[in-house]
Homo-oligomer: A and B are copies of this chain.
Amino acid sequence: MPAEQAAVSPYDVGLLRGYAVFDLLQTIGGVPFQFTEHITRLRASAKMLGLEVPATDDEIAEITVELLRLNECTEATVRYVLTGGESPDGMHFDPSTPTFLIITHNMFEVPEQFYVTGAKLITHEYRRELPEAKTTNYLTWLRNHHKLDAAGAIDVLYHADGLVSEAATASFYVVRDGRICAPGEGVLRGTIGELVMGLTASEYELVLGPVTLEEAFGAEEAFITSSVRGVVPITRIDDSTIGDGTVGPVTTRLMEICRAAMKKAD
């Protein structure tokens, strides 16, 4: 339906109580990229909130394609939002009648320069609530969003108790002794990260385990991955330069692999 007519009840528990999960993908050649991975992750997020996506993968795929056609989108970002549904008292809701929205946005724009010179992260002490689920709770991120522009940064790197977890809207990786390291738990599984790590498994060892903030600052290379940005090299964190400040060989290789995978889908 037209966006102006689409509406959510003011009693929706996703609005009144922030009880909602979502997932986001981009299209390539008009086709949702990593569709199954995203819907699988959405279902996993939903399960952690005791919710269930009220449609099969095939049904969701059909509606998505139809929506893209109606919106005359060649390329778009597609957002799937699932809430607990209406809650007349703002407390109780029936998980069997969730609200499920499929929304298209314009394609996410990333300055090309970030891929060439590398991008900057700023750190913020914070641990996401229920980090393995992609919930709609982005309070801390939005409250601090103005700092990104002020610092010329692409994203915020969250850390707590000396350990880094993830960027607000991306997975975070460092390269140490030629190996790729990332937190093994307390983070959202990244669809692009897992794709690229899978494709380069024979080239680079992947170590999933605690990554300290100190290790992040002292890394040979650092990068983030996200569905709407692919692999983005990180050459600065706060006021520190990462490695020699240029995009390193491992990150360069991963960017190539990621682009090739996306091109293949086109």
Taking Cβ atoms with an 8 Å cutoff, the residues of A that contact B are: 3, 6-20, 22, 24, 48-50, 79, 81, 83-84, 88-92, 101, 103, 105-106, 108, 129-130, 135-143, 145
Contacts and interface: CB of A to CB of B under 8 A. Distances in A.
Given A10-B81, A89-B106, A143-B49, A18 B18 contact: yes
B9 A136 contact: no
- Interchain residue pairs A-B with the least CB separation, the first 5: A7-B7, A18-B18, A17-B138, A18-B137, A18-B136
Contact of A7 (B10, B103, B143): B10
- State the oligomeric state as a number of copies: 2
Q: Which of A3, A15, A84 counts the most B-chain CB atoms under 10 A from its CB?
A: A15
Given A6-B9, A14-B15, A135 B139 contact: yes
A130 B139 contact: yes
Contact of A139 (B7, B11, B79, B129): B129
A50 B48 CA distance: 31
Given A15-B81, A18-B137, A137-B18, A91 B7 contact: no
